[in-house]
């Protein structure tokens, strides 16, 4: 009745933004991402017969019963309990080795690792697509972190959401890319991804026009990935990112995740590209900028980004593996 799993966050190259069903957490459109090795979440789930409610420890701190983060984990664990033939409460101990709730996709690695640990501890063995659809219930982006490398989230068309899961496009070995995460501030963001996207879809006149571009962008990004066409992938990724942020900024009141350093990084990356470097950027719901380059350009890209005063940290990620269980003897060692 115990299992430990780890998962990596992922960065969307074609963004997910908007829900068509908030209970089942169904997206308005598909999305596409790269799983990022180098950052990870490790989660242990233990079902215990000696506790009378779920216990959640995140980054070393026990979460308060009424808190949003606690509630989110408990609701997820309840979904798993409903599918299994036990009704024990769970002790969930999880930690991210990168900033939580800051725009670095902690909800993606967090719920991918929790989906795998909570089902395994309950003795459930799900297919990848089932695990992905389950992870989606916790956080839409988590559906993609089940897989290594590039993954596509399918919008699906069923009302019950059983066809809204991610599928793999190409494994981590397919393309030797690097993603340099330029961290621009410390601390949590003011507006969670969930809140930001709901406000955007409810009040931004730019939301629907942007959402209508997603299916075409997924086709183009997939072709670019298969052909390892860096320039083509960069073009789609930057326009998907800027379009998503433009739609968010046009909400009422506007949702702005950027700070001055974010904008400086955008211009710096574009200037480096004009000067001949192979680079492109993307930004999730937060102020940090993720800069992609072929592995051979890494040191040049690092030195460009390192010169910017507002950048507090550079984290180098590479295509990572999908969510996996950690062997019990490795945990106890
Ligand atoms: P991010 O950009 O980090 O994904 P979100 O606003 O999407 O930000 O989600 C952050 C929330 O995800 C946290 O406030 C918390 O509720 C949840 N979360 C983050 N890490 C974990 C984890 N390891 N296990 C469970 N839930 C997590
Ligand atoms: C901008 O998956 O965090 O990073 O489903 O409400 O948990 P919830 O949202 P979440 O949103 C991610 C938004 C994004 C784009 C992306 O990852 O595709
Ligand atoms: Co998130």
Give the per-residue pLDDT at 329.
62
Give the per-residue pLDDT at 96.
98
Q: Which one of the ligands is nearest to 284 CA?
A: 2
Order of all β-strands in the sheet with 2-7: 61-62, 55-58, 89-96, 41-48, 2-7, 324-326
Closest ligand 1 atom to 96 CA: 23
Ligand 1 lined by 120 (C-beta under 6 Å):
no
Q: How confident is the model at residue 327 (pLDDT cuts 50, 70, 90)?
A: confident
Q: How confident is the model at residue 85 (pLDDT cuts 50, 70, 90)?
A: confident
**The CATH fold of domain 2-174+324-332:** Ribosomal Protein S5; domain 2 (3.30.230)
Ligand 2 lined by 196 (C-beta under 6 Å):
no
Closest ligand 1 atom to 284 CA: 2
Give the per-residue pLDDT at 117.
98
Question: Where do the structural domains in the chain lie, given as residue ranges?
Answer: 2-174+324-332, 177-319
**What does the pLDDT look like over 267-291, one tens digit per residue?**
999 999 999 999 999 999 999 999 9
Give the per-residue pLDDT at 186.
87
For domain 177-319, give the CATH superfamily.
GHMP kinase, C-terminal domain (3.30.70.890)
What's the 106 CA to ligand 1 centre distance in angstroms? Answer: 5
Closest ligand 2 atom to 286 CA: 1
What is the average per-residue pLDDT within 234-261?
98
**pLDDT exceeds 90 at position 331:** no
What's the 89 CA to ligand 2 centre distance in angstroms? Answer: 28
Closest ligand 2 atom to 25 CA: 5
Ligand 2 lined by 214 (C-beta under 6 Å):
no
Mean pLDDT of the chain: 97
Whether pTM > 0.90 for this model: the answer is yes
Instruction: Please state the ipTM of this predicted complex.
Output: 0.99
């Amino acid at each position: 009745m115990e299992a430990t799993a780890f998962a990596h966050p992922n960065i969307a190259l074609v963004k997910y933004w908007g829900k068509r069903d908030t209970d089942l957490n169904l997206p308005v459109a598909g999305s596409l991402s790269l799983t990022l090795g180098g950052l990870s979440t490790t989660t242990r789930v233990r079902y215990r017969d000696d506790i009378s409610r779920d216990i959640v420890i995140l980054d070393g701190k026990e979460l308060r019963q009424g808190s949003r983060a606690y509630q989110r984990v408990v609701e997820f664990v309840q979904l798993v309990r409903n599918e299994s033939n036990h009704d024990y409460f769970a002790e969930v101990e999880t930690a991210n080795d990168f900033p939580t709730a800051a725009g670095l996709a902690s909800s993606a690695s967090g719920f991918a690792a929790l989906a795998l640990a909570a089902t395994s501890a309950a003795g459930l063995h799900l297919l990848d697509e089932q695990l992905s659809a389950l992870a989606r219930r916790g956080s839409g982006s988590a559906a993609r972190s089940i897989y290594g490398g590039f993954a596509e989230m399918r919008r699906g068309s069923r009302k019950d959401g059983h066809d809204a899961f991610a599928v793999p496009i190409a494994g981590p070995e397919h393309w030797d890319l690097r993603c340099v995460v330029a961290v621009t501030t410390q601390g949590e963001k003011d507006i969670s991804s969930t809140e930001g996207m709901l406000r955007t879809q409810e009040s931004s006149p730019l939301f629907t026009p942007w959402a209508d571009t997603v299916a075409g962008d997924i086709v183009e990004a997939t072709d670019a990935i298969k052909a390892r066409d860096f320039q083509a992938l960069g073009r789609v990724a930057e326009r998907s990112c800027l379009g998503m942020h433009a739609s968010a900024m046009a909400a009422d009141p506007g949702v702005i995740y950027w700070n001055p350093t974010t904008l400086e990084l955008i211009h710096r990356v574009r200037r480096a590209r004009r000067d001949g470097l192979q680079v492109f950027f993307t930004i999730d719901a937060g102020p940090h900028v993720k800069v992609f380059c072929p592995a051979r350009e890494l040191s040049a890209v690092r030195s460009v980004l390192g010169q910017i005063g507002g950048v507090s940290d550079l984290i180098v990620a590479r295509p990572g593996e999908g969510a996996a269980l950690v062997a019990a003897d490795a945990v106890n060692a």
